[in-house]
């Protein structure tokens, strides 16, 4: 089992802004909701662990949805204003990827049609509607809803 999946089973994710895949690769996301994000090259999670071995944060699930062969979990982390979205494959029970963003606000709604995750993050006065392709989470978008 990969380090990312092992920590996910303990309901922890890396505290850096980005996407961690089950194959222990990580892509940092730079940007902000409404402005867009840019994904850096994928790097081994082992490099992050080497420089910050304790760089894991606890997650609190607020919502769960199923669509196609996927189960999607979303919520907040122990850092104020941070949110996460994680996708597991139902048929195998394996994590595919987990997204963590310190500037997303907690995710309070989630849905999945089998191809795209639709999530809402909110903390007054901000409300964002996210679209995250299951097969390419680095292509996520967020639009202000108020």
Express each pLDDT in 31-89 by its tens digit. Answer: 999 899 999 889 999 999 999 999 999 999 999 999 999 999 999 998 889 999 999 99
Question: How many domains does the structure of the chain reveal?
Answer: 1
Q: What Å distances lie between residue 85 and 47, 50, 110, CA to CA?
A: 22, 24, 9
CA nearest to 8, candidates 75, 63, 90, 86: 86
Q: What average pLDDT is seen over the chain?
A: 95
pLDDT tens string 84-139: 999 999 999 999 999 999 999 999 999 999 999 999 999 988 899 999 999 999 99
Residue 1 confidence (pLDDT) above 90: no
Q: State yes or no: pLDDT of 146 exceeds 90.
A: no
Structural domain boundaries enclosing 58: 3-144
Q: Angle CA(131)–CA(33)–CA(70) in degrees, nearest 5? A: 25
Say whether 45 sits in a helix, a strand or coil.
helix
């Amino acid at each position: 089992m990969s380090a990312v999946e092992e920590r996910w089973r303990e309901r922890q994710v890396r505290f850096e802004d980005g996407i961690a895949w089950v194959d222990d690769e990580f892509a940092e996301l730079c940007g902000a909701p409404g402005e867009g994000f840019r994904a850096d090259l994928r790097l081994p999670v082992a490099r992050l662990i080497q420089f910050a071995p304790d760089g894991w944060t606890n997650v609190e699930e607020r919502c769960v949805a199923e669509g196609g062969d996927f189960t999607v979990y979303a919520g907040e982390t122990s850092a104020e204003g941070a949110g996460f979205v994680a996708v597991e494959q139902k048929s195998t029970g394996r994590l595919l990827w987990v997204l963590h963003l310190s500037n997303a606000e907690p995710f309070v709604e989630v849905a999945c049609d089998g191809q795209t995750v639709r999530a809402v993050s909110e903390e007054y006065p901000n409300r964002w509607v996210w679209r995250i392709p299951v097969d390419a989470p680095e292509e996520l978008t967020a639009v202000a809803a108020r």
